[in-house]
């Protein structure tokens, strides 16, 4: 086992432990009714600054950090900035537009916002402004994402059959809110499959924007099929939260934090096929593991009147805690005090053992 993989395993286990302690120690009402719905805005900003803006405004490669300065200080500043912007975003959404209650309705708005963010970042890959500066990418990308989210919210969602059916903020759109939530989560599943595990295969050689358009259509059809068919056989939350959330989580963990191990020696499509096999195995392990280790959390939440089951708990634990901690630690804090993360590899690049050694040597000489 090489040094980078050992460090990634340690990092992941520590994130699991810290996340579990947060769930156990933070009062359930505060965590599930304040942090959880607000964290969708934080996820939007984390993806926006790390992927779309390429580290702008503080961290490499597009941020203000310069050699000789502390990456750790830059990363902490960037993290603090995202927290402040998250608070501002939550206040705007709950007080100005669409003026919805933070809990539970922010869960619907946030899921749509997160889905459109990932669609723009991993499927459209910043098109048509990806070649511009990180600053331009962020502001133009954020505008596209927010406009799209406003359109989806205003035309697609309705709260029929809920206590908010007659509320002034109910858009009375095409899909009932719970159905649209599951559809959004399954759309994110396929965004991660095509955008992360498969690295755009088999579409990445098609000219832009045709490739992105085809992927968008394919994702929409596959997500709708998976969601509607699964509803015939599975409990809804087990479908979108346990299975869907598990695929999202492990596609993200395996690609962003474990560097496609041990498939980095292959190119697409072999790498992607093997990646999906590993994701499937990890999801099969993760679901029962989550049901065991999160049982005390469910008992605590139930006493506080939180209406979630173990499937939703597992998704929260995976995406809203572990993934958030790993994203901040890896892309803002550069895995400090571990070796800084290596550059991502493309679908037709092979990470050879010699290349690994060069990267490791460079990492050890980088200023933190």
Nearest to 157 by CA among 120, 121, 106: 106
φ, ψ (nearest 5 deg) of residue 157? -105, 145
Nearest to 33 by CA among 90, 102, 136, 83: 102
Distance in angstroms between the alpha carbons of the first and the last residue of the chain: 25
**pLDDT at residue number 343:** 86
Q: Around 310, how many Cα atoms within 13 Å sit in the side-chain half-sphere?
A: 12
Q: Which two tokens stand for residue 75?
A: 């990363």
Q: Which CA distances in Å does 296 have to 180, 246, 279, 323, 366?
A: 30, 20, 26, 21, 42
Peptide bond preceding 112 in cis form (omega within 30 of 0): no
Q: Give me the helices (H) in 96-240, please.
A: 105-118, 134-156, 177-192, 210-230, 236-237
Contact 19, 322 (CB under 8 A): yes
**pLDDT at residue number 361:** 35
| 295-303 and 3-25 helices, crossing angle to 10° | 30
Gap between the Cα atoms of 258 and 277, Å rounded: 15
Angle at 68 between CA 66 and CA 73, to 5 degrees: 75
**CB within 8 Å of 325: residues ≥ 6 apart:** 15, 18, 19
Contact 19, 321 (CB under 8 A): yes
Angle at 215 between CA 210 and CA 217, to 5 degrees: 95
**pLDDT at residue number 44:** 98
Neighbours of 162 (CB within 10 A): 15
Q: Tell me how far apart the 2 most distant CA atoms of the chain are, in Å.
A: 64
Beta strands in the chain (DSSP E): 157-158, 175-176
Contact 304, 36 (CB under 8 A): no
Nearest to 100 by CA among 82, 118, 112, 117: 112
Q: What is the pLDDT along the chain (368 residues), one digit of tens a residue?
A: 689 899 999 999 999 999 999 999 999 999 999 999 999 999 999 999 999 999 999 999 999 999 999 999 999 999 999 999 999 999 999 999 999 999 999 999 999 999 999 999 999 999 999 888 999 999 999 999 999 999 999 999 999 999 999 999 999 999 999 999 999 999 999 999 999 999 999 999 999 999 999 999 999 999 999 999 999 999 999 999 999 999 999 999 999 999 999 999 999 999 999 999 999 999 999 999 999 999 999 999 999 999 999 999 999 999 999 999 999 999 999 999 999 988 889 999 998 643 343 344 344 434 55
Nearest to 27 by CA among 304, 249, 237: 304
- SS3 state at 176: strand
In this prediction the pTM is 0.94
φ, ψ (nearest 5 deg) of residue 355? -65, -40
Nearest to 46 by CA among 121, 107, 149, 130: 121
**pLDDT at residue number 352:** 67
């Amino acid at each position: 086992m090489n040094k980078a993989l050992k460090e990634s395993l340690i990092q992941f286990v520590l994130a699991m432990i810290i996340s579990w302690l947060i769930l156990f120690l933070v009062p359930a009402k505060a965590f599930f009714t304040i942090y959880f719905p607000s964290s969708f805005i934080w996820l939007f900003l984390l993806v926006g600054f790390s992927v779309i803006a390429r580290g702008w405004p503080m961290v490499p490669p597009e941020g203000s950090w310069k050699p000789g300065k502390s990456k750790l200080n830059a990363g902490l500043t960037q993290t603090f900035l995202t927290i402040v912007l998250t608070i501002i975003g939550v206040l705007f959404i709950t007080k100005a537009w669409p003026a919805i209650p933070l809990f539970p309705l922010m869960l619907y708005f946030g899921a749509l916002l997160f889905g459109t963010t990932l669609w723009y970042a991993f499927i459209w890959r910043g098109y048509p402004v990806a070649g511009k500066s990180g600053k331009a990418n962020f502001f133009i990308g954020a505008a596209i994402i927010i406009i799209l989210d406003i359109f989806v919210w205003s035309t697609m969602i309705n709260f029929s059959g809920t206590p908010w059916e007659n509320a002034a903020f109910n858009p009375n759109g095409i899909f009932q809110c719970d159905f649209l939530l599951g559809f959004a989560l399954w759309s994110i599943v396929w965004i991660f499959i095509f955008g992360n595990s498969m690295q755009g295969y088999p579409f990445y050689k098609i000219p832009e924007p045709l490739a992105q358009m085809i992927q968008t259509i394919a994702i929409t059809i596959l997500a709708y099929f998976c969601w509607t068919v699964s509803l015939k056989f599975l409990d809804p939350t087990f479908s979108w939260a346990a299975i869907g959330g598990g695929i999202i989580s492990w596609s993200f963990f395996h690609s962003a934090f474990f560097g496609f191990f041990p498939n980095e020696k292959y190119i697409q499509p072999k790498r992607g096929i093997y990646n999906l096999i590993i994701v499937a195995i990890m999801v099969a392990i993760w679901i029962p593991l989550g049901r065991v280790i999160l049982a005390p959390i469910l008992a605590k939440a139930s006493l506080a009147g939180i209406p979630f089951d173990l499937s939703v708990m597992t998704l929260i634990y995976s995406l809203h805690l572990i993934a958030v901690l790993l994203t901040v630690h890896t892309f803002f804090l550069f895995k400090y005090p571990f070796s800084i993360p290596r550059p991502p590899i493309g679908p037709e690049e092979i990470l050879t053992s010699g290349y690994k050694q060069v990267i490791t040597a460079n990492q050890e000489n980088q200023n933190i």
